Chains A and B, each alone.
Chain A
Amino acid sequence: MEKKQFTSFYDTHVERIYRFVLYRVGNRKEIAEDLTQDIFLRAFEAFERYDPEKSRSSWIFTIARNCLINHHAKQRPGVTLEEIESSIFASRDDRQRLCDQFDEQALLEAVNALSAEDARLVRMKYLEGWSFEDLEEVFDKASATLRVQATRAVKKLGRLVRHPDEDVRKI
């Protein structure tokens, strides 16, 4: 890909990547901005080598994931993305920081109560703004399947918000 096309690529993905990072660094804006800048710098340097046949979203997502793992690894060596995912909004402080802004503590806690894959799908689809087509390669599933899975996950969320004590496995 020609580097001249990078700004349009940046325009399409910057908000999603920023949110993707923001939720995974405990809603700390400064860190999210630094990491977003770092992710796009890496993407820019590799942009000419990028194969346009592949999904752009999946490509930038991979860079973002690696950057995040590097960032967390500095504090805790050997960390994986799954561990990072499971830690999103896990600490009370993180949730509090986000809820001070959004007043949606119950909802975010309900997202955390979903199964790992459902929670990840809900975050990426509804909180970060990826399309089902973008998520095909990330989840290695067809977009139609992801659509059904997301619908079910949101239904579960609705019930969890109304009945927070309910066991998610029984829903």
Chain B
Amino acid sequence: MSLWPISYRLFRIRQRSRPDRSFVVRLRNQFAQKEGLVTRAWFSWRAVIASGSLMCSLLGATAAYAYTSDTVLPDHPLYPLRQEIESIQFSFAASNPIAKDQVRLQYLQRREHELMLMKQRNQRVPLQHVRVLLKQTKHLIKDTSFEREAATSTDRILKDRPALFVATTSTIDHLDHIDEHEKMNPQLQHLNSLVHDQAEELEREVTSMVPTSTEDVD
């Protein structure tokens, strides 16, 4: 006689008299906590992922704010973050000379915009910040290739409103807004003359480097 029907029927009873899953889990958690695994509860992967996501979101939001906000100007604590993001963006574009020039021109426009904003708000901008902006502008102009290939993509911006000229002029204008009392400060006068010199030098360089129209490029 085959035994399997009886064994199978007993097995079926066994399967159907299982404890409730909720009971088993509840009791198991109770012992896991007693075991001293309570400390592991806060170290669950879920908590790690949640806090990691929160950190990433906060960092991302801060970075986005630093990169896009008009309130982040050279005297703002997040301005170094903006510069860092720009350098990362630039390193991505570095392999393509045209993209590189486009990014540089974009940065020139941003610097110009920053200077305009500072002027509009009548902020008293420390001279060193103006110098930083000027230095950045100068490097950007120096590094930007106005060779034929790159020029075709940059001409549209340079033709009607050359960002670098505006940037230079804005800087000088801004310095002129410093009040009379402060202008008497010999250190500031020295710095001021330095900035003026740099600006003039910049202007000369720009004049020699930037094509006056698209025909020159062609």
Interface size on A, residues (CB 8 A): 38
Most chain A beta carbons < 10 A, residue from B7, B17, B19, B34:
B17
The complex places the Cα of A3 from the Cα of B31 at a distance, in Å, of 9
Instruction: Let me know if B9 and A104 touch, CB within 8 A.
Output: yes
The interface size of chain B toward A, counting residues with CB under 8 Å, comes to: 26
> Does A14 lie within 8 Å of B36, measured CB to CB?
no
A107 vs B14: C-alpha distance in the bound complex, in angstroms? Answer: 13
A6 to B32, CA, bound (A): 8
Mostly, the B contact residues are helix
Q: Using CB atoms, name the residue of chain B closest to A160.
A: B6
Which residues of the partner chain B approach A36 to less than 8 Å between Cβ atoms?
Answer: 19, 23, 27
Chain B residues lying within 8 Å of A102, measured Cβ to Cβ, are 12-13, 16-17
Judged by DSSP, the binding face of A is: helix
- Which residues of chain B come closer than 8 Å to A104, judged between CB atoms? 9, 12-13
**Chain A: which residue is nearest B4 at the CB level?**
A154
Please name all residues of chain B whose beta carbon is closer than 8 Å to the beta carbon of A22 when the two chains form the complex.
Answer: 17
Chain B residue with the shortest CB-CB distance to A33 = B23
Contact residue among B3, B13, B24 (Cβ-Cβ distance under 8 Å from A14):
B24
Q: Is the CB of A154 within 8 A of B6?
A: yes
* Contacting pair B35 A3 (CB below 8 A): yes
Q: Which residues of A contact B121 (CB under 8 A)?
A: none
B36 touches A126 (CB 8 A): no
Q: Are B6 and A161 in contact (CB under 8 A)?
A: yes
Give complex CA distance A19, B28 in Å: 17
Apart from A3-B35, A27-B17, A101-B16: 5 A-B pairs, beta carbons within 8 A: A6-B31, A6-B34, A104-B13, A126-B7, A158-B6
Q: List 26 A-B contacts (CB under 8 A).
A: A6-B31, A6-B34, A7-B32, A10-B28, A14-B28, A15-B19, A15-B24, A19-B14, A19-B18, A29-B20, A33-B19, A40-B31, A44-B34, A98-B17, A101-B16, A102-B12, A102-B16, A107-B6, A107-B13, A126-B10, A127-B10, A127-B14, A127-B17, A128-B14, A159-B1, A161-B6
